[in-house]
Amino acid sequence: MTQSSRTKSERETEEVYEPSRATRLFVVWRKLKRNELAVFGFGIVLVVTILAVFAPLISPYDPTWMGPSLRPPSMTYFFGTDAQGRDLFTLILEGARVSLYVGIATVALELLIGITIGMVSGYFGGHIDEVLMRMTDVILTLPELPLLIVAIAFFEVRSVHVIVLVMGLVGWPFIARVTRSEFLTLRESTYVEAARSIGASNRRIIFSHILPNILSTIIVLATMDIPWYIFYEASLTFLGFGDPLSYSWGVLLERGYLYFIGAGKPGHWWLITIPGIALFLTSLGFNLFGDGLRDALDVTTSGR
């Protein structure tokens, strides 16, 4: 009788302390749902994603279509038309595709490099760790945008892919640092010790015991990095290091800016305000969502 009741209570505590994955996800979701700003951010991200994915279906005109130039926003041209007579609304939608591609592709590349380096460094330690972390620290201290400009200057080809490649190659140090510190902590934890004592291989410990446990930290960092890369891409394109023929919001802003300086008077305000607002809203969405995720997943992002 007592025996069975004890096992029952044990089972209960087990259930309390180790909820299934679905329950944990539900808890996170409930916390996230309570945070109105995070929901708002998630909404923006969702809308931008839908607009980007279905851009060809939604956009009223073809991005290469040219009509009357420099028309202000109206019912026929929601966001007006640019100097070439292209519909700005269509271009903004195309720009959303570029931005999302840039954000996600760069973060993927950054995670690949950062996690690998952080993992090796944190799990194996020793001299490898020393060398890798010195390298990481140096790159981490260098100012990002000038570094990107220097790196991109030496590519003959101007394209979005080059920007993604360079940003991924430059942006990984912070991820590596955080991954390393998490690995350092978890490497010494009892459950990893237990796994090791029953003869689990390094690979098994890394990939099925440690990595899943730092997933939430990585997800938060990745979400918070996306707006930065969208920024940097737009900035670099604006500064003239992108593909001038792409539909990036940076290109739209650069065109608007040049047109503006050329005109010397405030006439065609929509050319620079609207792409900027698109950029701003997208990044706001990711920032809010990232903040909410961080709070919901209870992650501290000070990995330095």
Partner 1 sequence: MRENESIGERGKENKYFETRAKKIRVLQRTNRRIVLMTVRAYVIRRIIVIIPTFFFISILIFSLIHLAPGDPVQAMVGRHPPSREAMQILREQLGLDQPVPVQYLLWVSRLLSGDLGYSYVSGRLVWDLVSEKLWHTIELMLLAEIVSVAIAVILGVIAAVKHHSIIDAICSLGALIGYSAPTFWLGLIGILVFAMMLKWLPAFGILTPGVTFASPLHALVDHLKHLILPVSILIITWTAYLFRLVRSSMLEVLQQDYITTARAKGVRERVVIYKHALRNALLPVVTYLGFSMGFLLSGAAVIEFIFSWPGLGDFMVTVARIQDYPVIMGLAMIIALMVLFANLAADVTYAVIDPRIRYD
Nearer to partner 1, 95 or 227 (CB): 227
Tokens linked to 40: 């708002």
Q: Tell which residue, 141, 144, 219, 208, has the closest CA to residue 178.
A: 219
Q: Taking CB under 8 A as the rule, does residue 108 contact partner 1?
A: no
Query: Quick check: 256 binds partner 1 (CB under 8 A)?
Result: yes
- Beta carbons of 111 and 171 less than 8 angstroms apart: no
Is residue 174 within the footprint of partner 1 (CB under 8 A)? no
Please state at what angle helix 270-297 crosses helix 215-238, rounded to 10 degrees: 170
Residue 28 makes contact with partner 1 by CB under 8 A: no
Question: With binding defined as CB under 8 A, does residue 234 bind partner 1?
Answer: yes
Q: How far is the CB of 225 from partner 1 (least distance, A)?
A: 14
b/e per residue 168-205 (b: at least 16 CB within 10 A):
bebbbbbbbbbbbbbbeebbeeeebeebeeeeeeeeeb
Q: Which stretch binds partner 1 (CB under 8 A): 62-70, 115-123, 200-208, 259-267?
A: 259-267
* 3 versus 141: smaller Cβ distance to partner 1: 141
Looking at the Cβ atoms of 205 and 291, the one nearer to partner 1 is 291
Phi, psi of 116 (to 5 degrees): -60, -50
Identify which of 232, 237, 248 has the alpha carbon closest to the alpha carbon of residue 143: 232
The token pair at 134 is 């010195």
Burial profile 237-255: b = 16 or more Cβ within 10 angstroms, e = fewer: bbeebbbeebbbbbbbbbb
Count Cβ atoms within 10 A of the Cβ of residue 116 and give its class: 0-12 exposed, 13-18 middle, 19 or more buried: middle
Give min distance, CB of 216 to partner 1, in A.
Answer: 19
Q: Measure the CA angle with vertex 284, ends 280 and 290; round to 5°.
A: 150
Nearest distance from C-beta of residue 268 to partner 1, angstroms? 10
- Token pair listed for 301: 């992002």
Q: Is 122 in the site for partner 1 (CB under 8 A)?
A: no
Q: Binding residue for partner 1 (CB under 8 A) from 22, 57, 75, 157? A: 157
Task: Examine residue 293 and tell whether it contacts partner 1 (CB under 8 A).
Answer: no
Binds partner 1 by CB under 8 A, chosen from 145, 194, 215, 258: 145
Which residues in 268-287 contact partner 1 (CB under 8 A)? Answer: 269, 272-273, 276, 279-280, 283-284, 287
Name which position in 25, 46, 50, 142 contacts partner 1 (CB under 8 A).
142
C-beta neighbour count of 260 within 10 angstroms: 16
What is the smallest separation between the CB atom of 131 and partner 1, expressed in angstroms? 10
Question: Which residue number, 63 or 276, has a Cβ lying nearer to partner 1?
Answer: 276
Tell me which residues touch partner 1 (CB under 8 A).
134-135, 138-139, 141-147, 149-157, 227, 231, 234-235, 238-241, 253, 256-257, 260, 264-266, 269, 272-273, 276, 279-280, 283-284, 287-288, 291, 302, 304
